[in-house]
Amino acid sequence: MRILLAGASGVFGRVLTPALVDAGHDVVGITRTRDGVRGIEAMGASAVIADVMDREQLLAALEGERFDAVISQLTALKKPPMRNKDMRQTNVLRTVGTENLMAAAKATGATRFLTQSMIFGYGYGDLGAGPITEDAYFGPSQRKAFAEHGEAMRRNEQIAFSEPGVDGIALRYGLFYGGPATDVYVNLLQAGKLPIIKAGTDSFIHLADAASATVAALERGRGGQAYNVVDDTPIPFADITLEIAEDFHTKKPRTVPAWLIKPMRYLDAVVTGRYVISNAKAKDELGWKPQYPSYREGVRADARG
């Protein structure tokens, strides 16, 4: 397929773009800068310069182009979010940015549309013993402080699902690690800026596995469907942090009490909450399974290089 990819030069895009190219697809990444063009071309793709938040500019840049699919991996996050305000620019990308990309899909004849969603659309905090499937409620959190994030994720999926003639698919990723995402952990650990809290359970996914799931969804996913993309082993945030510290020989993180991060409400909800998410649907319908069933295999493989 010929694919238009938004977010090609981001943390996940730098893993997804080569995976799409290796699978035989022709990828055109969207970037706002000449440096972005060079980075995308180095991954074996081509690029177009445009701002996805400017619909007229985006459509003008794509005039005369034809695509089979559009993939949105839009995010404004340069570092892990800690406060609710850190998510607001990404929320706008998930709404206005996704609307503009759907307009681009229609203008270029694309009949498939994949969008990045996240498991936090199921809520923030203790979501119970799980496992949570795609049939569970997905949208604004009952906790008002987080409602805007869930609303943006729900709207993002609604845009993907609602266009006649376009098979929209939402990929509800777990927390990323692996490759450039693990580099973020390593840098924070080396700087002594990643303490651990012994609480909570999160569902993670290695970027390589997130990429293979995305390729599988592109090729075999059903329109109008959401798929959880997580590994097989939900674990506390502290466990993966300690594994990275040990395998990459960084400074050992200090343990701090949970109350210390209460003022950083977003970080507190992610780290101390319970998110036990099922990946059964992605396995059954996409013919996909994670190469790294748990963080141990993934972190150790990254450390070996």
pLDDT at 200: 95
Q: What residue type is 226 in one-letter code?
A: A
In which band, very low, low, confident or very high, does the pLDDT at 76 lie, cut at 50, 70 and 90? confident
* DSSP H/E element including 299: helix 295-304
**Average pLDDT rounded to a whole number, residues 83-107:** 95
Q: Pick the closest to residue 180 from 288, 88, 75 (CA basis).
A: 75
Domain that holds residue 191: 2-304
- Nearest-angstrom CA–CA distance, 285 and 33: 38
**Rg value, the chain, Cα:** 19
Geometric angle at alpha carbon 300, from 298 and 305, rounded to 5°: 95
Domain tally, the chain:
1
Question: Which whole number is the average pLDDT over 216-228?
Answer: 98
Q: Angle formed by the axes of helices 207-220 and 13-22, to 10°?
A: 50
The C-alpha atoms of residue 241 and residue 114 are separated, in whole angstroms, by 30
Q: What is the tens place of the pLDDT at every residue in 111-146?
A: 999 999 999 999 999 999 989 999 999 999 888 999
Pairing assessment for the beta strands 167-173 and 46-49 based on DSSP bridges: unpaired
Give the CATH number for residue 34: 3.40.50.720
In order of 51, 178, 303, the CA distances from 295 in angstroms are 35, 9, 12
The model's pTM: 0.96
* Run of H or E including 52: none
Would you say residue 81 has pLDDT above 90?
no
* Predicted local distance difference test score (pLDDT) of residue 199: 92
| Residue (of 27, 20, 110) closest to 67 by Cα position | 110
- Which tens digits make up the pLDDT trace of 11-44? 999 999 999 999 999 999 999 999 999 999 999 9
d(CA 297, CA 288): 17
Whether 79 shows a pLDDT value over 80: the answer reads no
Q: pLDDT band for 305, please (50, 70, 90 cuts).
A: confident
- For position 6, what pLDDT does the model report? 97
N-to-C CA span, the chain: 31
Instruction: Map the chain to HEC letters.
Output: CEEEEECCCCCCHHHHHHHHHHCCCEEEEEECCHHHHHHHHHCCCEEEECCCCCHHHHHHHCCCCCCCEEEECCCCCCCCCCCHHHHHHHHHHHHHHHHHHHHHHHHHCCCEEEEEEEHHHHCCCECCCCCECCCCCCCCCCCHHHHHHHHHHHHHHHHHHCCCCCEEEEEEECEEECCHHHHHHHHHHHCCCCCECCCCEECEEEHHHHHHHHHHHHHHCCCCEEEEECCCCCECHHHHHHHHHHHCCCCCCCECCHHHHCCCHHHHHHHHCECCECCHHHHHHHCCCCCCCCHHHHHHHHHHC
Tell me if the bond preceding 131 is cis, omega within 30° of 0: yes
